[in-house]
Structure 1
Amino acid sequence: MTGSELPEPVERRLQRLWAEAAERGAAMPSEIALASSLEVSRPAVREALVRLEERGFIHRRKGADTTVNSSLLGIPARFEQRLDSSELIAAMGRTPSVEVTDVRVEEVTLDEAHEHDVSPRQSVLRTTKVWSADGEPVLVARDAVPVLTRTDPTTLDPATPMVDLATALTGERVGWELVFPGADGLSDDDAALTGRPAGEPAMTLDATGISRTGTVCYWTREVHLRGAFRYAMVRRADW
């Protein structure tokens, strides 16, 4: 790691150790052992373990080993976890690519202004992207990012991940996403972009990214083609 690079988050490093333990059918090492091997403090390890437990990767009991949930192996797509589309496709063991089919800067519509609580004359950067896995279209994303800084959106690479475009154009980082899943038939436009029949069933995700100060940083509609991803949701079952 060079001086300009940020250290990898503890939680991500622990998740790799979780995967190794799950593949072996073994328990997670103790907090002391994890802190030593990762060269971080025990409080940092404990905080990351809490987050992993909340997401269903592990189960901890006082005075007992930390067990791992090996059933999550091979499930890259989770409703409660935001992954960049390229990371999601790569997690499926396929090669991601993206084609930006439309880029424009324009004012929000009145419906958008009302729904997202932004000024009716607010400028937004709109992009349409078609994501492919091994050259096969799997997802269409229509993103809108408000222009709240002095950054000229036309100077940015539209293929840049949406969260990074949002940081540049709003000056804030996304803290939460509000997501509404649904199902619909492919529109004529989406069918033309993906080479699939119009009306073919597809899963949709309408998401709004919100900063910790309450600023709307983006909204997006994703159309996930049938059979492309296997989404899962993990929830605790404390009967």
Structure 2
Amino acid sequence: MSDAGLPEPVERRLQRLWADAAERGGPMPGETVLASSLEVSRPAVREALVRLEERGFIHRRKGADTTVNSSLLGIPARFEQRLDSAELIAAMGRTPSVEVVSAEVGEVTLDEADAYDVTPRQSVLRTTKVWSADGEPVLVARDVVPVLTRVDPAGLDPVTPMPALARELAGEQVGWELVWPGADGLSVEDAGLVGRPEGEPAMTLEATGISRTGTICYWTREVHVRGAFRYALVRRADW
């Protein structure tokens, strides 16, 4: 299933308007003006503004202008924001590229079946990819997607973003992603893939994609080379 041809989400369009307001140091336009300029309903604008406020982009008060948090302009990546690896690298101002080291259909292990509540012997697509920024390896991703539909994994491009692969193979839209950040030394295999010394400290992210019905749509482990990315966590402090 492709997203081509679908209208751009209101929240994403509002985020561009937020960036314009943040750069000029002014407030966001009101709901009526936004709805008119974006050609969407006021309820749709209001819902998107609520999400932006929850993520710390704006602050709204009844009867006052919607102020913007311009400090976020310098933050390329946030822990609470899901970005595809290519988008993440591009957000750092670098050119992304990817090498698919392996892509094969196999079965879940007993440990995976227990950890992710899937049926033993369940078929899965396993991929290992190395992402580079300006030609420099910066991220190793080991992704696993259960094959719960009749779609042949061999006919899919393994570079396809994980949520799209999950729609094809697991048959459901991912609603949440549970992420466990950590730190570890580079294994022999990972060190070889990124050309760094074995044991060098690296950040790890273990994530599980879950549909709104509770289906596990994928799980992944990412190893981020030290110094390649700079993350931020934005949280409200209006206690």
TM-score by length of 1: 0.97
The AA in structure 2 aligned to 1:164 is A
Q: Which position in structure 2 is the counterpart of 1:192?
A: 192
The AA in structure 2 aligned to 1:76 is P
What CA deviation, in whole Å up to 9, does each residue of 1:200-227 have, x standing for no partner? 1100000000001110000000001111
Q: Which position in structure 2 is the counterpart of 1:94?
A: 94
Q: What is the rounded CA distance, in whole Å, between the counterparts of 2:138 and 2:24 in structure 1?
A: 32
TM-score by length of 2: 0.97
Count of equivalent residues: 236
Is it true that 1:50 corresponds to 2:55 in the alignment? Answer: no
Q: Which position in structure 2 is the counterpart of 1:236?
A: 236
Q: Which runs of 5+ in 2 are unaligned?
A: none
Q: CA deviation at 1:65?
A: 0.7
Q: CA deviation at 1:64?
A: 0.8
The AA in structure 2 aligned to 1:28 is M
Where in structure 2 are the equivalents of 1:10-25 lying within 5 Å? 10-25=10-25
Q: Which position in structure 1 is the counterpart of 2:124?
A: 124
Secondary structure of 1:150's match? coil
Q: Which runs of 5+ in 1 are unaligned?
A: none
What CA deviation, in whole Å up to 9, does each residue of 1:51-95 have, x standing for no partner? 000000000011111100011112121111111111111111111
Where in structure 2 are the equivalents of 1:18-167 lying within 5 Å? 18-167=18-167
Q: What is the rounded CA distance, in whole Å, between the counterparts of 1:56 and 1:77 in structure 2?
A: 14
Secondary structure of 1:189's match? helix
What CA deviation, in whole Å up to 9, does each residue of 1:27-65 have, x standing for no partner? 111111111111111111110000000000000011111
The AA in structure 1 aligned to 2:109 is T
Where in structure 2 are the equivalents of 1:158-237 lying within 5 Å? 158-237=158-237
Moved more, 71-80 or 47-56: 71-80
Q: Which position in structure 2 is the counterpart of 1:7?
A: 7
Q: What is the rounded CA distance, in whole Å, between the counterparts of 2:6 and 2:104 in structure 1?
A: 33
Q: What is the rounded CA distance, in whole Å, between the counterparts of 2:7 and 2:86 in structure 1?
A: 21
Q: What is the rounded CA distance, in whole Å, between the counterparts of 1:189 and 1:174 in structure 2?
A: 30
The AA in structure 2 aligned to 1:107 is E
Q: CA deviation at 1:162?
A: 1.6
Considering only aligned residues, what root-mean-square deviation do their CA atoms show, in Å?
Answer: 0.9
Q: What is the rounded CA distance, in whole Å, between the counterparts of 1:201 and 1:215 in structure 2?
A: 33
Q: What is the rounded CA distance, in whole Å, between the counterparts of 2:39 and 2:104 in structure 1?
A: 46
Q: What is the rounded CA distance, in whole Å, between the counterparts of 1:213 and 1:95 in structure 2?
A: 36
Identity of aligned residues (%): 83
Q: CA deviation at 1:160?
A: 1.5
The AA in structure 1 aligned to 2:80 is E
The AA in structure 2 aligned to 1:69 is N
Q: What is the rounded CA distance, in whole Å, between the counterparts of 1:164 and 1:227 in structure 2?
A: 29
